[in-house]
Amino acid sequence: MTRNERRYLLTGPIATWLGMLLLGAISAGYTQIPGTPIRLVVQLVLLSVQLALITLFFMQLRRAEGLVRLAAMAGAIWASFLFLFAFSDYLTR
């Protein structure tokens, strides 16, 4: 294992963790502001950035082969179906 690979193995997860902490703190702080009309949009943007951090850096999908990326995308699509159907059931009751 080269020095750059060892360095990447250490700095990647730590940087991801720090980014997640920062985005979590921003999210928690933003929820304390009363009367913000675009709260849902801001929270969804923060969630999307957190999801991108996890998939690209922590799961290392940037360096993954095509089949691994395809499997991750298939899992995300099926999870979105699950949330869509659960949310539509919730809205109809």
Please write the tens of the pLDDT for every residue from 50-83: 988 888 887 788 788 889 889 988 988 998 999 8
What is the CA angle 47-50-56, rounded to 5?
135
Q: Mark whether 55 and 85 lie in a shared domain.
A: no
Q: What is the phi/psi pair of residue 65, to 5°?
A: -75, 170
Q: Mark whether 17 and 30 lie in a shared domain.
A: yes
Number of helical (H) and strand (E) elements in the chain, helices listed first = 3, 0
Q: Mark whether 83 and 57 lie in a shared domain.
A: no
Q: Which domain holds residue 21?
A: 1-61
**Local structure of 92: helix, strand or coil:** helix
Q: Mark whether 47 and 72 lie in a shared domain.
A: no
Q: Mark whether 69 and 88 lie in a shared domain.
A: yes
Return d(Cα 71, Cα 76) in angstroms, integer. Answer: 9
**What is the residue-averaged pLDDT of the chain?**
85
What is the CA angle 80-85-91, rounded to 5?
125
The reported pTM is 0.69
Q: Mark whether 40 and 81 lie in a shared domain.
A: no
